[in-house]
Structures are given as C-alpha cells and as structure tokens.
Amino acid sequence: MSDYSFEYFTVRFPTDQQYVAHVEINRPERLNAFIEVMWLNMAKIFNKLSSDPSVRAIVLSGAGEKAFTAGLDVKAASEGLLSSETSTDPARKAAFLRRHILEFQECITAVERCEKPIVVAMHGFSLGLAIDLSTATDVRLCSRDSKFAVKEVDIGIAADIGTLSRLPKVVGSYGWVKEIALTAREFGAEEALRVGFVNGVYDSREATVAAALKLAKLMASKSPVAVQGTKEILNYSRDHSVQDGLRYTSVWNGAALQTQDVSAALLSGLQKRVPTFEKL
C-alpha cells in the first residue's frame, strides 16, 4: 500500500505494521481546527478504509505538537453554518440548519461505521469536535498534556455532532458527563483515565501514537472475521436490549463461524506459530 493524502489529511501505511493504516489530521497551523472540507474528507477516508481489504486496524492522530484538534474552526463556522443570514423565516432557517447538522453528523458516523477497529491517539488541545470524533472510534489513548473539554456551551450551543449521544455510552457515568457538558470545564488526562474516557495515558504525543500503533498492530494480527464481527456486535449491542443483541449475534455468527480462520487460529495455537488470515 502506498501512502496517500486528502486535503488536510494524510493516510500512511507503516511498513512495520502490516494491515495498519495511520490517518493524520493535518492542519497544525490552525491547531487542526475543522472546516467543512475536512469532515467531508474524513468521511471519504474512513469509508475507503472500511472496505480496503489490506487494512485491519486504524490509528487516528493529529499533526503538530499543540493539538489533536482544537475543534470546530469557529471563525469559519460563524461565517458559514452559524452565520445569521440565509433566510429570514425561522422555519426555513431551521430546515437549512437541520440539513447541515445531519450532513455533518453523517461524516462523524462514517468513522463509527468503519468496519475496522480504530484507535485514536490524542494530545494537547482536544476540544469540542475532538470529543465528538473520538467517541466515534473504538479505543481512546492520550498524552499526559491533553486538554479536553466539551466546549460547546461556551459558544452558546448544545453539542450536536455526537458528543451528547455517544460520550455517556462510552464512559457509563451520566453524572460526570452532565457536569462536563453543562460547564464546559477542561479536564486532563488523569481524569479522562479515571472515568474511562481514555484507556491509557502516555508521556508524549510520540509515545501515545506509538502505543496506538502497537495496539492497532495487535488487533490487526487477529482474524479479521473475528475482529470486525466483534466491533459490529458491540456497536449493535450499545443501542439494543440484551435479547436483541443475542439474536443479532446468532445470525451474524451463522455465517462468520463458517470461516476458515477458526481452524487456522486453532491450528496456529497448537503449533505455537502466528496464523495468517485471508484478506477481508
């Protein structure tokens, strides 16, 4: 696989990490703040990786030392989506805004729908959209210097791209989420670890990215049938009752258990060697 890039994004395929793709947000001069082309491109990238058979796990991080992403580029937004013009009829303006929010949400949901597991490595400013985005991935790691905040109430809005729907289900505790979201107060790496928002804290951006790549490599070494099935069933279960989750699983595994990966994995286990699996 050769590396490629989309505007404000780089996609690399580390040669020592087979089946791993590394997506980097690349607008460091503006603290990786998001403008519209960026979320559209991000969706394109994750849709592409989702069906790319040479990818089995993905790392997402931000370029530059200062920020994973400072969130929405508020200056650009206040001239665009949040500007006060367009229509003078409040009902029509509401329709216009709703369509734009749905489109934006759909781009973040593309990250969640990506069939391959995603590990996000955050550092420095990780505000607003950083939370929306990272809660759509599977595992969150961060560096010790991370500064997190659900920043939206500070600009007069309720977060609408995913944080309020996904963050409580990521961490479990509604009490903590309520405080964080209603005050927009900053929290750091230690608090993020304690409440379960991140799975690990590392000393620097580099160490965090390295840990994310290592974790992704581990996931990429397993049967992709098993890994992708596990991700899908966990996502399904989040939004359904246990009985529904069990029923869905039984149908999913009706096909998945027919894979040759099971015997490959079992045999490798007995022979103490690394199994190889067909692409998916």
CA proximity to 25, closest of 13, 42, 40: 42
Task: Give the nearest distance from C-beta 180 to a copy of itself in angstroms.
Answer: 9
Contact pick of 15, 16, 85, 250 for a copy of itself (by CB under 8 A): 250
Contact pick of 35, 40, 76, 82 for a copy of itself (by CB under 8 A): 82
Contact pick of 40, 76, 195, 210 for a copy of itself (by CB under 8 A): 195
Task: Give the nearest distance from C-beta 208 to a copy of itself in angstroms.
Answer: 15
Strand partners, 147: 125
Contact pick of 117, 123, 145, 202 for a copy of itself (by CB under 8 A): 117
CA 135 to chain centre: 6
**Quick count: other Cβ atoms within 10 Å of Cβ 186?**
16
170 touching a copy of itself, by CB under 8 A? yes
Task: Give the nearest distance from C-beta 26 to a copy of itself in angstroms.
Answer: 25
140 touching a copy of itself, by CB under 8 A? yes
Which DSSP helix (H) or strand (E) runs through 241?
Answer: none
265 touching a copy of itself, by CB under 8 A? yes
Burial class (CB in 10 A: 0-12, 13-18, 19+), 250: exposed
Residue placing its CB nearer to a copy of itself in the complex, 26 or 109 = 109
Q: How far apart are CA 202 and CA 185, in angstroms?
A: 22
Contact pick of 2, 91, 272, 274 for a copy of itself (by CB under 8 A): 91
Q: Is there a contact between 196 and 172 (Cβ–Cβ < 8 Å)?
A: yes
